[in-house]
Amino acid sequence: MSNDGTFNPFEMARSQFDKVADVIGLDQGARDLLRSPLREYHFSIPVRMDNGTVEVFKGFRVQHNDARGPGKGGIRFHPQETIDTVRALSMWMTWKCAVADIPLGGAKGGVICDPHNLSAREQEGICRGWVRQLARNVGPVADVPAPDVMTSPQHMLWMLDEYEQIAGGHYPGMITGKPVGMGGSLGRTEATGYGVIFCLREALAELDLKAEDTTASVQGFGNVAQYAIELYCQMGGTVVCVSSWDQEEQTTYAFHKASGIDLEELKGITNRFGGIDKAKAKDLGYDVIPGDDWINREVDILLPAALEHQITDQNVGRISDRVKIIAEGANGPTTPEADAVIQERGIFMIPDFLANAGGVTCSYFEQVQCNMNYFWERDDVLTRLDKKMTAAYHSISELASKQKMYMRDAAYVVAINKVASACRDRGWV
């Protein structure tokens, strides 16, 4: 929390970092360097709107650390975007790339806007304007953006096209999350959600649980949630609740069905921003309940898979005693105060920058394919992803059990040590 009582994700990211820096005895120079971004850009994007007026949008790019390789991180379009959110996400990206053991650093970008209220042409203007402001500071060997909340493969393609026009050549490795056939990678769409479940599969085996004997409740119904649900159900698990954002009412609702949700059925009544139609859901036998009730379901697994700040000191007490595993598909969904309670209760935590590293891992695969101009089959991509995620999971799980550490702390120890070591090797600290 910041001084005025509002949630500040950057303060949360720093407090998580400080806790582990103390544990590993990180020297002051490395600590000061890694607590703050190396660079950040704030800029204005003027766009001529469809009605002839000019609107100026506020844009950001934060490059937290690139000691291990070019920056990597998504671009969000969100009306509540803040620089502190972007700073926190860039920091988490640094740790995520290190945990997944890919040669990239952490970055993140954003624009304060609401795509719901913008035409495609206006959104294209924002994308091209964002690149014009940053063309000298991003690129395949400097910083590689990607889609994030409310951005899509189409947005990435507009950005790539603008960059290539400025740079005067083809540089498909400049951005990831592109459409397949235009430099995108097969398997990228599924990657984050599948990566969460690859980690969950390993955790279930470790806890001697069978997927078919478990149930789950999922927060969110966007890309990550939908593919996580798909693979988890293929493994035999049952999802009994999902929550989704209602654009009209500007709030969230949860959809519960004790016998288990039908993914394809719900997707059939979902709009392009992941909002489920309440009336149609009721007709299909779903209970429509308040959005934050996803957390108090009687299930074995909780999957927060949308935005940050979802499990807090205010609602962590509502988690059922039956819950054995929390797998964080979202970035930063759990506050440090809630973490302490989860750790005390012995709930097995698969932390965000391990659980959802499938997206950045597959983005790295896309970048590699673009740079060598040779593309792999979908099964190739997902097999490589499974290997990477499984190896990352075990490197952290083994440290956690050896040192009797909470999984999040173990993931931070692995990541921070790798990044600090790269900074030392370069002579920065």
- What backbone phi and psi angles, to 5 degrees, belong to 102? -115, 145
Tokens found for residue 291 = 């959005």
Q: Distance of CA 370 to CAs 69, 144, 375, Å?
A: 17, 12, 7
Q: Is residue 399 part of a domain?
A: no
For 311-324, the pLDDT digits (tens) are 999 999 999 999 99
Chosen domain end from 302, 328, 355 = 355
Enclosing domain of residue 118: 39-172
Do 153 and 194 lie in one domain? The reply is: no
Q: What is the pLDDT of residue 308?
A: 79
Q: Is residue 416 part of a domain?
A: no
- Per cent of the chain over pLDDT 90 is 89
Out of 19, 58, 96, 108, pick the active-site residue: 108
For 304-357, the pLDDT digits (tens) are 998 878 999 999 999 999 999 999 999 889 998 999 999 999 999 999 989 999
Do 161 and 258 lie in one domain? The reply is: no
- pTM of the shown model: 0.90
Q: Which residues pair with 41 in a beta bridge?
A: 61
Tokens found for residue 388 = 């990477």
Neighbours of 116 (CB within 10 A): 12
CB proximity list for 3: less than 8 A, separation 6 or greater: none
Do 220 and 340 lie in one domain? The reply is: yes
At 94, which CATH number?
3.40.50.10860
Residue 216: band (very low, low, confident or very high) from pLDDT cuts 50, 70, 90: very high
280 in active site:
no
* 3-class SS string, 221-272: CCHHHHHHHHHHHHCCCEEEEEEEEECCCCEEEEEECCCCCCHHHHHCCECC
Q: Is residue 382 part of a domain?
A: no
Q: What is the pLDDT of residue 275?
A: 85
d(Cα 251, Cα 25) in Å, to the nearest integer? 43
For 264-273, the pLDDT digits (tens) are 999 999 887 6
DSSP 209: -
Chosen domain end from 172, 203, 232 = 172
For 132-163, the pLDDT digits (tens) are 999 999 999 999 999 888 899 999 999 999 99
Q: What is the pLDDT of residue 332?
A: 86
The arrangement of strands across the sheet holding 54-65 comes to: 39-48, 54-65, 105-112, 71-78, 143-147
Question: How many domains, the chain?
Answer: 2
Q: What is the pLDDT of residue 5?
A: 58
